[in-house]
Amino acid sequence: MLKPLRNFLAAICESRAGRISLAVFCACALIALLGPLIAPYDPMARNYDAAGKLVRLAPPSAQHWLGTTTLGRDILSQMLWGARSAMIVGLVTSIGVVLIGVNIGLLSGFLGGRVDALLMRITDIFLGVPFLPFIIVILSITGRSTWTIIFAMTILMWRSSARVIRAQVLSLKEMPFVAAARISGASDLAILYREIAPNVMPIALLNVAIAMAWAIITEASIGFLGFGDPDALSWGTIIYQAYASQTMYRAPWWVIPPGVAIMVLVSSVYFIGRAYERVVNPRLATA
Amino acid sequence: MGRFIAVRSLHMAITLFAMVTLMFFMFRLLPGDPTMTTISPALYPKAQAAMKAQFGLDRPLFEQYLLYLANVARLDFGLSFVTSRSVAEVMQGRLVNTVVLILPSMILAYALGVLIGAMLAWRRGGRMEVGIVFLATALQAAPVFWLGMMAIFVFSITLDLFPVGHIVTPGRFPDPTWRMYFTTDFLHHLVLPFAVHTAYQLCFPLLLMRSSMLSTMHDDFIELARMKGLTERRILFHHAMRNSLLPVATTIPMILGWAVAGSVVIETVFSWPGLGRLMVESVEASDFPVVQASFFLIALLTVLGTFVADLMYGMLDPRIVYR
């Protein structure tokens, strides 16, 4: 399990773009980890100035680096807390998605026949489900919480990984090393998980990156539409609060930071994915 | 070909059927009683029972399900909980509004994306390429609703060039009419959401076309075309681009699905009265018949898009055999 991860990191570090984006990503991860500790204020506290007046919609200043909201909350502190929720949503969803996608893809490609046909029909049905509207419907029925959002995204996003992995398995299972394993008496399960699975790891890791980027953007979209977890602070809900307060066009310091943060984090994930893809698919690298 | 269309239509019907079924049971089996919004628990139990009977809610679940299927097949989604008008009346014009915004924008995004992507690969190297690839990735990584807000901030609020939202000046067309789409007022409202959506959507085909071209350009047939003495232009358009198009084309159904589903956010930012916005408003108002109907129409658009795109592959790649 550790070896593919080490190869993954080594592959990314081969290019300069890869190294830079990895550094950016790690910085975001660090902020997610330490954010609540280094946040200068309680993100939900209303701040008052020396005269006891609420610091309402204040532009960036020495006290509040990114200004405050209409309720006098410190935006920088909200941003730091939001990093944590973006990271958790991204990581948990992408790992869940790839675990389901890889297993369905492996089984479908390897077993073939009726199992394959059934699993692929199910995948097709899931591909027809409108992504964001479906999540909104689920949230409207079950109530709004971060874990429901993660769950809803996971059960819809595995569909594309499953297809890609299946295609890969179809060609891998005809390889000589699979026949060799079979001759030496390996069981189907052993062939599938010991011989074939490690070979789909590169594609699976690439899918982790794509799923993570999508999960972060989707969670922000849900937050923006007003269906985010009311108790969680995410970059999407910060934008939503600015939007709902109808003051966002007077207070650009409120809406610009969360959008830029999402853009930086998600781009770093995309660039990591691309740096890795060049190694997985050398035809791109030679060009 | 005829057989292929028949099989695909069957698949399409199965997908829609599964989705409709899922919707029906989700609203009834999950915790919470959606009927409470219309049938107040404060009413006398007898009055509650009478209202339930009127809606057919006293019958067994399976019977309700069959009734529901029959109604969906006739595109009858009942009455809106909130306005008590028929759902069809509430939905009027919404589908067209969404299609009018999303479809031309997607076509332009793919056309531009493919062209720019091919050019980047053809004239490899230099700051221009690095810059565009970086810009496209960053744009793709931004949430589209946020891009919309930034565009409104710059072009509507600061420069006062375009309206901040809506499809026409509010109050100009109290009743939906097709005439609305042929006014300069409509075009004026269309510019900003259209431009933002197109800019956002063109990144993906652009990046994909570029990498597809990069691998095609090393193929032997390009070398052969060069040796035959063909002009660069001819090699680019007739040989390299054509052969690089397939991986880009295969993504159309998926991306079209994402775009239709994603219309929810772009329509919300620009107060565009389309299906997605209607759905969000209905969810907020717990107007479940309208939620179901708009969800169904969004799903229908997604599935139809996939179907049409599947047929198109054959035109692009004669190697594909319809089975």
Convert the pLDDT of each residue in B276-299 to its tens digit.
899 888 888 878 888 888 888 888
Arithmetic mean of pLDDT over chain A: 86
CA distance B54 to chain A (A): 24
AA identity, residue B71? N
Mean local confidence (pLDDT), A75-94: 91
CA distance B283 to chain A (A): 7
Q: What is the pLDDT of residue B39?
A: 67
Which residues in chain A have Cβ-Cβ distances shorter than 8 Å to B14?
121, 125
Residue to mutate among A118, A122, A141, with most B CBs inside 10 A, is A141
Asked if B143's CB is within 8 angstroms of A287's CB, the reply is: no
Asked if A283's CB is within 8 angstroms of B26's CB, the reply is: no
CA distance B142 to chain A (A): 4
Which domains, from first to last, does chain A contain?
14-33+68-279 (1.10.3720.10)
- Tokens at A117, concatenated: 């046909």
CA distance A133 to A26: 32
Element (H, E) at B129: helix B127-141
Q: What is the pLDDT of residue B266?
A: 93
Q: What is the pLDDT of residue B38?
A: 62
Q: What is the pLDDT of residue B159?
A: 92
Which residues in chain A have Cβ-Cβ distances shorter than 8 Å to B162?
none
- Tokens at B240, concatenated: 């390299």
Asked if B257's CB is within 8 angstroms of A137's CB, the reply is: no
Structure-model confidence comparison of residues A218 and B168, the more confident one: A218
Convert the pLDDT of each residue in A238-266 to its tens digit.
999 888 888 778 888 888 999 999 999 99
CB atoms within 10 A of CB B61: 11
Structure-model confidence comparison of residues B211 and B175, the more confident one: B211
pLDDT at A287 over 50: no
CA distance B306 to B42: 47
Arithmetic mean of pLDDT over chain B: 83
Query: pTM for the whole thing?
Result: 0.88
Long-range own/partner contacts, residues A111-117 (CB < 8 A, 24 or more apart): A116/A166
Q: Please count the CA atoms within 13 angstroms of the CA of A188 that sit on its side-chain side.
A: 6
Convert the pLDDT of each residue in A199-227 to its tens digit.
888 888 888 888 999 999 999 999 999 89
Convert the pLDDT of each residue in B10-61 to its tens digit.
888 888 888 888 888 877 765 556 566 566 677 778 877 777 776 677 778 7
Residues 161-190, chain B: which have Cβ within 8 Å of A? Answer: none
Q: What is the pLDDT of residue A286?
A: 45
pLDDT at B151 over 90: yes
CA distance B46 to chain A (A): 27
Looking at the DSSP bridge assignments, the partners of residue A48 are A54
CA distance A159 to chain B (A): 11
Residue to mutate among B16, B122, B137, with most A CBs inside 10 A, is B137
Confidence of residue A91 (pLDDT cuts 50, 70, 90): very high
Residue A16 CA: distances (Å) to CA of A20, A275, B17, B141: 6, 9, 50, 20
ipTM of the complex: 0.87
CA distance A273 to A267: 10
Mean local confidence (pLDDT), A56-70: 83
Nearest CA in chain B to A131: B261
pLDDT at A3 over 80: no
Can you tell me which residue has the tokens 């591909």?
Answer: A127
Which residues in chain B have Cβ-Cβ distances shorter than 8 Å to A287?
121, 124, 214-215, 217-218
